[in-house]
Structure 1
Amino acid sequence: MKKILIADDEKNMIWAIKRALKDEGYTIITASNGKEAIESVKIHEPDLLLIDLKMPEMNGLEALKNIKKNFPNTLAIMMTAHGNVETAIEAMKIGAIDYISKPFDIEELKIQIRKALDIRKMSDTIDYLTEELKNKTGKRIIGESKGLKNVLNIVDKVAESKATVLITGESGTGKELIANAIHYNSDRAKNPYIKVNCGALSENLLESELFGHEKGAFTGAINKKLGRFERADGGTIFLDEIGEINLNVQVKLLRILQEREMERVGGVETIKVDVRIIAATNKDLMKMVEEGKFREDLYYRLNVIPIEIPPLRERKDDIKLLTYYFLNKYSKELGRKEFKLTDEALDTLKNYEWRGNIRELENVIERLVILSEDNVITKEKLPKEILYIKGQIDNFKLPSSGINLEEVERNLITQALEATNFNQTKSAKLLGITRHALIYRIEKYNINTKK
């Protein structure tokens, strides 16, 4: 039963709210001022706090500030006088998830309470999912952004089902972690969990690895071999880089998805398998279907539950958490003291595009911890490719005296070459132009490309 704490010095208001929520199944706790509210949160740990702004001894804002400092996970809705927008904004900054103006419609309050408790449920679910994943794999999902919460909400809903899942997203976004979370929070968690990197195996080897082979099926097949699907029977198989499989293997995979049966390479025996399939790719499979490189029927069989992981550049709220997580991880591994990050350095990291996503961020932080002579990461210590970010161009203002555009262009090209150790492909990527366009400009400005 959900517990709601109502903090208000008006007895009539508390009575009215309690009466309205009587049939909703909540346990109601009350407080008549800010200090009582703080004590009640300590004792009862409510799922939701409804707190009035104006109260004796300590007002709602002061009480909420104290509660969020000591009990940061407490969800709160601030009750304010009609039209007091400034106070409502201040309450949201402190940590209230919403506000409602007095006098309010009781049905509107009920809706806001339900929404708030849904957020609580999602938050608890995410905590559970990430903790279970950490316990099973030693790895955890880090982040609080809306995009990541949406992904984990889907994970929670699909984990207990047998539905096939297709995880999409750029390289380095954490597709395997999401697959792990689905398996380890399903009723198959104690059964086999087999992972296959489809892009790392040749065409013939992949077929044999997935479906197994009989003795003598091909040169070198001196013994019968069970395939990954047979080994995953009763559990889950994770097919990473599914866009790399050839059309012949696609046909066999389609049969497993449709009939839950297969034959080993060189075999005639039909083998039944009970396997939950999770696939992942950084490719546009629909585009591959249009190009004839991926079977349309297989695509729809795989895409029963689609989960798209947003790139890190769309999860800027998570960059700070991830950065400090990796700083802590690598400082412990190397026996270093706790690292600090200046605000300027953090802002620079947030504004970088992170084309390599979380994997790139982790690599950068590991490098910084290894190479840093002290325990403070400043902007100046960041890699050159991060310092030369596109966001700086957006903020550039043309001076009233004007500039020499060719001189600026020559300077930027030189900086890009130096930042990439004179790798022309990487330099062109930094500048947002093609390699041919870069070579043309190098020749135009007679830039020395020798190290």
Structure 2
Amino acid sequence: MNKVLIVDASESDRRLMSGLLVKSGYEPIAVETMEAAKDEVAKLPPGAVIVTAMTFVRGTAQELVNWQKREGYTFPVIAVVDNLNPLEIADVMKGWGAVDIIQRLAMDKQLVETVVRYVSPEKALLILPNVLIPRQSEAFRRIGLSIRTIAATNANAIIFGECGTGKEQIARQIYMHSSRAQKPCTVIEAGGAALVGQHDPTTLRSEIYNRIESCFKKADGGTIILKNIHLLNFDKQTVLLHILENEHPDVRVICTAEPELLKMVSEKTFRPNLFYILRQIDIAVPPLREVTEDIATLSEYFLASYSNSMGADQKRLDASALKELKVYPFPGNVRELKDVVLFAAFHTSADVITASDLNFSQSEPAPNSSLNLQDPTMEKAKINAALKQAQGNKTMAAKLLNIDRTTLYIKMRQYGLK
């Protein structure tokens, strides 16, 4: 939990500030003297913030800042000021290094929103367990049925879906519900370092062969989850194919892959014979923009997990926030939804998150299924998709399509869309 050091001679104000910060998920440390402040600064973790009165017992804010500089500490200092004029405030911030100020009379309104600008947002990056989050869409009801059906077999499987859709969690569910659940499960990143090993001159085998074979031996009788198999280079594909075809290990392989794998197979950059050995059965996971009915359920789950980790009351999304979340395309899918919702929870002092609290990334690459109107033969389908995603709202649909509302009406008439 992010720490905030409060240095103030007023016991009532220390109590007030501590209460406001605790409610917003911070861990306040309140002291009244210079000696105690120095002791606590030395123990502060990275990302902490100092909130200090202009004067306190046996010290001043400027003396504390100067001591920080001499000792090599760089924690942001926010000054609590009492009715200073603009010139005096400028001197506080420029003359001795405060990053910001809070008016004491407006402490209840300014404290949290000021602290949040300078504290490290580490806790917004909540690490969630590898579990399948309950969802309400029909698509995921069918996926749940597929998980149980596949788990009852011994077939290899590929889970297809865009980045961030939860493919690995689905693969783990298949393993956990299978007859191999009491045997080892090894998770390997196809594009990672796990498949790089040492060359063994005594066997004349390549390092890739030794490493892949060792993974199968480790998982004997169990399951290997091979993530992102579209990242396997041709050498690794060849070794994997040889092991599966010739050594027949007692291992079930569940793979995850992005949709580009299908194109790679057709272009022969991924070996078709390996593909069909691995894809004895498959599951296609829809992107979040196609199952927007799941957004409310997922968001509530993330907020509950965040609340538990912070030891704070759970926040909720209002109608305006849910509306914005449902219209945003989420190229990063569920993973991106989690980050957007938790970032808003971390930076919002209120119990209710509104649309204005949401911060969508401006640097996301557009997915291949972007709703931009580029190919005339696809326009009708894309307009229908945009209208569905915007729940019939023409202004939002036009925004998704990167056209104006008038052009959207023209296109709708052109294709006979209501």
Q: Which category describes the TM-score, using the shorter chain as reference length?
A: 0.5 to 0.7
Equivalent of 1:227, from 202, 214, 225? 214
Look up the match of 2:168.
176
Check if 1:319 corresponds to 2:295.
yes
- C-alpha separation between the residues in 2 aligned to 1:219 and 1:315? 47
- C-alpha separation between the residues in 1 aligned to 2:315 and 2:245? 52
Q: Using the TM superposition, give the Cα deviation of residue 200 of structure 1 relative to its aligned residue in structure 2, in angstroms.
A: 1.9
- C-alpha separation between the residues in 2 aligned to 1:377 and 1:216? 63
Check if 1:206 corresponds to 2:198.
no
Contact kept? 2:133, 2:298, Cα under 8 Å: no
Check if 1:338 corresponds to 2:314.
yes
Q: Using the TM superposition, give the Cα deviation of residue 139 of structure 1 relative to its aligned residue in structure 2, in angstroms.
A: 2.5
Look up the match of 2:228.
241
What percentage of residue pairs aligned between the two structures are identical? 36
Instruction: Assess, with a 3 A threshold, how the Cα gap between structure 1 residues 297 and 371 changes in structure 2: closer, same or farther.
Output: same
**Aligned residue-pair number:** 245
Look up the match of 1:396.
395
Equivalent of 2:240, from 232, 249, 253? 253
Contact kept? 2:199, 2:205, Cα under 8 Å: no
Contact kept? 1:285, 1:299, Cα under 8 Å: no
Look up the match of 1:144.
136
Superposed CA offset, 1:221-242 (max 9, x none): 8xx9771111011000011010
Equivalent of 1:369, from 329, 345, 348? 345
- C-alpha separation between the residues in 1 aligned to 2:196 and 2:152? 29
Equivalent of 1:159, from 151, 157, 165? 151
- C-alpha separation between the residues in 2 aligned to 1:315 and 1:392? 12
Equivalent of 1:196, from 172, 188, 194? 188
- C-alpha separation between the residues in 2 aligned to 1:181 and 1:395? 39
Superposed CA offset, 1:396-425 (max 9, x none): 39xxxxxxxxxxxxxx9xxxxxxxxxxxxx
SS in structure 1 of the partner of residue 283 of structure 2: strand
Look up the match of 2:117.
none
- C-alpha separation between the residues in 2 aligned to 1:149 and 1:325? 17
Contact kept? 1:207, 1:249, Cα under 8 Å: no
Question: Residue type matched to 1:395 in 2?
Answer: K
- C-alpha separation between the residues in 1 aligned to 2:296 and 2:360? 20
Question: Residue type matched to 1:161 in 2?
Answer: T
Check if 1:353 corresponds to 2:329.
yes
Contact kept? 1:169, 1:282, Cα under 8 Å: yes
Instruction: Assess, with a 3 A threshold, how the Cα gap between structure 1 residues 249 and 357 changes in structure 2: closer, same or farther.
Output: same
Superposed CA offset, 1:337-356 (max 9, x none): 12122112112111211111
- C-alpha separation between the residues in 1 aligned to 2:206 and 2:250? 29
Instruction: Assess, with a 3 A threshold, how the Cα gap between structure 1 residues 141 and 215 changes in structure 2: closer, same or farther.
Output: farther
- C-alpha separation between the residues in 2 aligned to 1:298 and 1:195? 19
Structure 1, unmatched stretches of 5+, are 1-136, 262-271, 398-411, 413-429, 434-451
Instruction: Assess, with a 3 A threshold, how the Cα gap between structure 1 residues 294 and 365 changes in structure 2: closer, same or farther.
Output: same
Instruction: Assess, with a 3 A threshold, how the Cα gap between structure 1 residues 340 and 286 changes in structure 2: closer, same or farther.
Output: closer
Q: Using the TM superposition, give the Cα deviation of residue 189 of structure 1 relative to its aligned residue in structure 2, in angstroms.
A: 0.4
Instruction: Assess, with a 3 A threshold, how the Cα gap between structure 1 residues 300 and 392 changes in structure 2: closer, same or farther.
Output: closer
Instruction: Assess, with a 3 A threshold, how the Cα gap between structure 1 residues 326 and 294 changes in structure 2: closer, same or farther.
Output: same
Q: Using the TM superposition, give the Cα deviation of residue 290 of structure 1 relative to its aligned residue in structure 2, in angstroms.
A: 2.7
Structure 2, unmatched stretches of 5+, are 1-128, 363-370, 372-385, 404-418
Instruction: Assess, with a 3 A threshold, how the Cα gap between structure 1 residues 372 and 217 changes in structure 2: closer, same or farther.
Output: farther
Q: How does 1:40-189 map to 2 (within 5 A)?
A: 139-189=131-181
Q: Using the TM superposition, give the Cα deviation of residue 292 of structure 1 relative to its aligned residue in structure 2, in angstroms.
A: 2.5
Superposed CA offset, 1:193-246 (max 9, x none): 000001123xxx6254xxx8646669998xx97711110110000110101111
- C-alpha separation between the residues in 2 aligned to 1:392 and 1:276? 42
Check if 1:276 corresponds to 2:252.
yes
Contact kept? 1:236, 1:275, Cα under 8 Å: yes
SS in structure 2 of the partner of residue 199 of structure 1: coil
Q: Using the TM superposition, give the Cα deviation of residue 279 of structure 1 relative to its aligned residue in structure 2, in angstroms.
A: 0.8
Look up the match of 2:279.
303
Q: Using the TM superposition, give the Cα deviation of residue 291 of structure 1 relative to its aligned residue in structure 2, in angstroms.
A: 2.3
- C-alpha separation between the residues in 1 aligned to 2:345 and 2:309? 10
Question: Residue type matched to 1:396 in 2?
Answer: T
Superposed CA offset, 1:61-89 (max 9, x none): xxxxxxxxxxxxxxxxxxxxxxxxxxxxx
Contact kept? 1:345, 1:379, Cα under 8 Å: yes
Instruction: Assess, with a 3 A threshold, how the Cα gap between structure 1 residues 249 and 377 changes in structure 2: closer, same or farther.
Output: same
Contact kept? 1:167, 1:279, Cα under 8 Å: yes
Q: CA RMSD in A?
A: 3.2
- Which structure has more RCO (C-alpha within 8 Å, separation ≥ 6)? 2
- C-alpha separation between the residues in 1 aligned to 2:177 and 2:296? 27
Contact kept? 1:145, 1:315, Cα under 8 Å: yes
Superposed CA offset, 1:250-299 (max 9, x none): 1221233333x1xxxxxxxxxx6210001111142221123231111111
- C-alpha separation between the residues in 2 aligned to 1:170 and 1:308? 10
- C-alpha separation between the residues in 2 aligned to 1:190 and 1:384? 42
Contact kept? 2:147, 2:173, Cα under 8 Å: yes
Contact kept? 1:235, 1:276, Cα under 8 Å: yes
Instruction: Assess, with a 3 A threshold, how the Cα gap between structure 1 residues 298 and 220 changes in structure 2: closer, same or farther.
Output: closer
Instruction: Assess, with a 3 A threshold, how the Cα gap between structure 1 residues 220 and 317 changes in structure 2: closer, same or farther.
Output: closer
